[in-house]
């Protein structure tokens, strides 16, 4: 049995959870998780149907993208995932989808403002959209540059990767991340719902205002941070 069997089983489930959540059709998405202790990443194989996928199909690579274990090609988005893992050492899982509303926002080139508490419970501030990739960036090293444009935006704007664990690549689609692949999937689910709610909010009122900052702060910090009190305390 593979030394990475547990990791592969976990990443397999995360990928299939994306389908169950309605975030992925055909093969339009991928989930991965990093094992920082061993310096490897487990990721979905490229173009393989989810229904037929097994743990043996999950590909293990090193942090430069070389295959460590597996007979299939890794997801074509592997280098995007690796760029995020290298830039944000606090994250453990990454997800990319083409979910409808989040992708529509990316195609529109628009941030998703925080109109209410559903958004603020998970994401602090606007969900950002990156700049468009240049012709040279697309033609030279497209997947790597897709990850780097997210990193560039977060570094430029000072957004913390843990406070807003998602981004929209302009003209492409959403990436989310979290402490592991399951949390990254959860953040993808929330992102799609928040994007849908934002679109519907503007249909009701094209001049809708964002939620007051004090309300956003209340909802975010009651679930996150040292004084969080939402939910139950973890048993020791």
Residues belonging to the active site: 121, 230
Instruction: Return the structure tokens found at 44.
Output: 């979905």
Edge-to-edge, what's the strand order for the sheet holding 40-43? 67-69, 59-62, 40-43, 29-35, 93-97, 173-178, 166-169
Residue with tokens 């030394």: 3
CB 165 within 8 A of CB 178: yes
Angle at 53 between CA 47 and CA 55, to 5 degrees: 120
CB 69 within 8 A of CB 4: yes
Three-state DSSP at 77 gives coil
User: Residue 95: exposed, middle, or buried by beta-carbon count in 10 A (0-12, 13-18, 19+)?
Assistant: buried
């Amino acid at each position: 049995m593979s030394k990475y069997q547990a990791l592969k089983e976990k990443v397999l489930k995360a990928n299939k959870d994306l389908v169950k959540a309605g975030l992925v059709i055909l093969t339009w998405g991928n989930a991965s998780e990093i094992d920082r202790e061993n310096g490897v990443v487990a990721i979905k194989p490229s173009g393989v149907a989810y229904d037929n996928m097994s743990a043996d199909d999950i590909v293990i690579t090193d942090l430069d993208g070389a295959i460590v274990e597996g007979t299939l090609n890794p997801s074509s988005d592997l280098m995007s995932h690796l760029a995020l893992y290298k830039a944000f050492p606090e994250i453990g899982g990454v997800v990319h989808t083409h979910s409808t509303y989040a992708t529509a926002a990316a195609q529109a080139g628009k941030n998703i403002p925080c109109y209410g508490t559903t958004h603020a419970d998970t994401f602090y501030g606007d969900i950002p959209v990156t700049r468009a990739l240049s012709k040279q960036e697309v033609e030279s090293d497209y997947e790597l540059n897709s990850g780097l444009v997210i990193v560039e935006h977060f570094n430029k704007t000072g957004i913390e990767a843990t406070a807003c664990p998602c981004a929209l690549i302009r003209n492409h689609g959403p990436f989310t991340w979290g402490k592991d692949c399951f949390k990254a999937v959860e953040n993808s689910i929330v992102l799609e719902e928040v994007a849908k709610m934002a679109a519907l909010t503007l249909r009701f009122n094209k001049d809708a205002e964002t939620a007051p900052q004090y309300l956003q702060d209340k909802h975010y910090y009651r679930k996150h941070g040292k004084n969080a009190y939402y939910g139950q305390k973890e048993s020791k």
